[in-house]
Amino acid sequence: MSPGLTLSRAGLSSVLLCLLVAGCLAEMVRYHTYEEDAPGTVIGVLWDDLQSRSGDRPLGSFRLMEPFSNSSLVRVREGDGQLSIGEEGIDRERLCGQSLQCVLAFDVVSLWQEQYRLVHVELEVRDINDNAPRFPQAHIPLEVSESAAPGTRLPLEIAVDPDVGSNSIQSFQLSRNSHFGIEAQPRADGGKSAELVLLQELDRETQAAYTLELVAQDGGSPARSGTATVSVRVLDANDNSPAFPQGSVTVELGEDAPRGSLLLDLDAADPDEGPNGEIVYGFGSQVPAEARQLFRLDPLSGRLTLQGPVDYERQRTYELDVQAQDRGASPLAATCKVIVRLADVNDNAPGISISPLSGAPAGAGVAYVSEAAARDSFVALVSTSDRDSGPNGQVRCALYGHEHFALQRAYADSYVLVTAAPLDRERIPEYNLTLVAEDLGSPPFKTIRQYTVRVSDENDNAPLFSKPVYEVAVLENNPPGAYLATVVARDPDLGRNGKVLYRLLETQSAGGGPRSALVSVDPHSGSVRARQPLDCEELPLVEVEIEACDGGAPQLCQRARLRLRVVDQNDNAPVITSPPLANGSAELPLPVSAPAGYLIARFAASDADQGANSELSYSLLGGAHPLVALNRDTGELALRRRLPGGASEAAFPLVVAVHDGGRPSLSCTAAVRLIPTDTLPSSVEIVVLQPSAEELQPSLDLSVVLIAVLAGGCGLLLIAIIAVASTCRRSKSHFQPGTEEQGRGKEASSLLQPSLITPVTLPRPRTAAESPCVILPKRGKPGAETPSSHSTPDQFSVKDSGKGDSEFNDSDSDISGEGLKKPPSQSAENKTIPLHYENDYTIAYSTPIYQPILQLGKPNFLPQQPKLKEYQVNIPKTERLQSVYERVLSGGPAMPPTTLSRQYKGLNHPPQNTLLPNASEVATSF
């Protein structure tokens, strides 16, 4: 059977099944047209027909579905669904062959935004009489015995007319004669055949051959006909002809019968003897060539067997004309008609055809659907087919794989694949579905088809920052272009929808300028850099907003906040704000009669830095001062004790330094001059002098330790002085070479006699600068008063030669009294002769006053064998300190030279008010 007939029968089956199925989703429209209509002939308009049926406005954008997308047969206009004949036209015979009804079925989908409407169109192609009957051969030879009885039938070759119905062959006509007539016989396949009928006996001797004209005519209007010439040869007589038991036999054959299967065992009989009774079997001339290939007839036995595979779906019935002929001189023949009917067997698996709405072609196995598609959105059309008939050809289809999609019946054996739930490409980008088609045969055949649905991306995700707020600490005074941080935003979309660009939102800073003047952000990497140096004092916190946007349409954005905490650096030196300074200096009045603890001034300073960088400490440049004390924390400058007599004429220069707590530390200084005055202030503020850190160190009973140390030290000194004095009496008045140590001992013994030592009990520990141990009476003029308890070592100058001995040969230390006869100017220039001991106490002699003092640094141990040793300390000075010293010294009156009191050697805690880390305690003598 031709493919056209299969299409027609499939179309009829679809129509019948769809009429039986309730709830079809597709609209069904029927049209008809005639074959051979000109290309472009309008068949119908779907828009008008659908609107007239339902009354609803149909959707737009009509599209022909796969696999019937060949516009050469039928074209569909997209705007209104107008159907017209394609450029090649429609030939019914080519499409449907000899089928009585030819139906061309196809599907059209109507789309509007996300809605669809499926239209099933059935186009009946009607036949026209465009083909004339035709005989296979223009000349038909026949033989007949002269002994043939009237009524004998001679089959003729079948005439062919591709048209069907009334346009096919309807009648045969034979030229006028007296011996033969013509009869038309219907065939099982719907055609007609002609047989030549003998009307009266023949006489070969009278006429040995007959030539007849045979005409086949169809029923068209106008009618068409075909002509052939029949030549009948009259043979010599044969008394008996073979005869079959039946003139027609019907055989049932399953389409799955194997080759060699026996269909029929023909048994014709001929009563003649010899060659006239021997029968030979063969197919008649009307058996088509295709049947001759499928069936085999044994010429001797008459066994009819299956020679090739038969297919019920291709052709269901075969008509075979079997002829039995004897071997006589004038052979006689008999004809038997064998009809072979095929029985359907479930030997075909269902077929699945998937036509996607968009994306890859129908055979690619991939469909695309947007992730923004709504529920029940059309994805693809699924068509099933089975070439079998009856239950063997009825197919049911099911979908497996995922609950996001569903399969709904459209009509007959067609289904619509739709979405059943919202889709999210970022969560599931691709779905692998399994379609299973199964027929109702026994046993059933099943077909499994894998199908992929890919979700196309939509811009439904905004960029997402890794954190809503980024906090970054950055040191101030950064260089322009310094890297600060990187913000990261991710977008799970694809392509331009997932490409993220960053930008800085314009906001005003606290200073009034835009944030974009402070920082910048790279639009591609999100790297944030500083445009200019940041200042913690001006703007300690910088907050900017950064927006990340994708490249989709419409564009989606997200924002994040970046907080830049500017970390302070020690970039601001302290500034003294009180008392007011003029060119970095100030003069403060100091009443001569001010008591100890009198508050001279309260220094105040400010530092623009923060934290430890702004923690300020106050100190006196040059170390602890014997006359005044400066509170390290509060900046209070107070008087240690009353001014000594005669101090009302000279000013006291000081250098106050203020340090911050940064690393490195920054400082500022102020040159201060204390001007003694007799004017009493209106109010006197007394402050309590707090002990220093060294004084607060825990120890044993300090007074006991001090007394023990003093007693032991004085005893040892007394012994040494007596020994030196006894040696000096025997020596000359001047030192001889090699007797330097003896001269020193003698002079010391004459100055320090046991009867002159007055022990002093100290009420509390004091520093070496303010705690005298022993006060000796003057060795000057008779009647001179012993210095009171207010006398301090500030009145004396101490110098260390660094050699471990004192300069006893100096004229200032002459015990004979000659030094007292020198002029005062000469006495003021005399050197200081110190005696230093390693155990941190010192005996100092100052020739202008001749008042030895024993100073203690750390009175927490007992002295052992004292050993004379002289130290010399070199204090480095920076250019800044040197300039301060020179400014102070140049602006004041003539002052005694500044000498080093002693070096703090071996102390665990250096002095509190020290400016230089390498300097020891510096005392200024007035």
Give me the mean pLDDT over the 109-121 stretch: 81
Domain limits, the chain:
27-126, 139-235, 248-343, 351-452, 464-567, 575-677
CATH of domain 464-567: 2.60.40.60
Give the integer Cα–Cα distance in Å for 374 and 217: 63
DSSP character at residue 922:
-
Pairing of strands 248-254, 333-343: parallel
Q: What is the pTM of this model?
A: 0.52
Q: What is the mean pLDDT of residues 114-134?
A: 85
pLDDT over threshold 80, residue 513: no
Q: Which residues, other chains included, contact 334 with Cβ-Cβ below 8 Å and sequence gap of 6+?
A: 241, 242, 243, 244, 268, 323, 324, 325
139-235, CATH topology level: Immunoglobulin-like (2.60.40)
pLDDT at residue 897 greater than cutoff 80: no
CATH class of 248-343: mainly beta
Q: What is the mean pLDDT of the chain?
A: 74
Token pair of 568 as six digits: 């302070």
Top-tier CATH class for 27-126: mainly beta
CA dihedral 696, 702, 705, 708 (to 10 degrees): 130
Range in 127-141, 288-302, 559-573 the model is least confident about: 127-141
- CATH class assigned to 575-677: mainly beta
Higher pLDDT, 715 or 784: 715
pLDDT at 348: 87
Are 226 and 282 spatial neighbours (Cβ–Cβ below 8 Å)?
no
- For residue 793, pLDDT over 70 is answered with no
- Please compute the mean of the pLDDT values over residues 254-282 and round it to a whole number: 89
pLDDT of residue 12: 39
Comparison of pLDDT for 163 and 825, the residue scoring more: 163
CATH architecture of 351-452: Sandwich (2.60)
Q: Which two tokens stand for residue 249?
A: 């036999």
d(CA 922, CA 926): 13
857-895: pLDDT as tens digits: 333 333 333 333 333 333 344 444 444 444 444 444 333
What one-character-per-residue DSSP string does 121-149 give?
EEEEEE--S----B-S-SEEEEEEETTPP
pLDDT for 468 beyond 50? yes
Task: Report residue 533's pLDDT band, with 50, 70 and 90 as the boundaries.
Answer: very high
Domains 351-452 and 464-567 share a fold: yes
Average pLDDT over residues 379-406: 89
Residue 782 has pLDDT above 60, yes or no: no
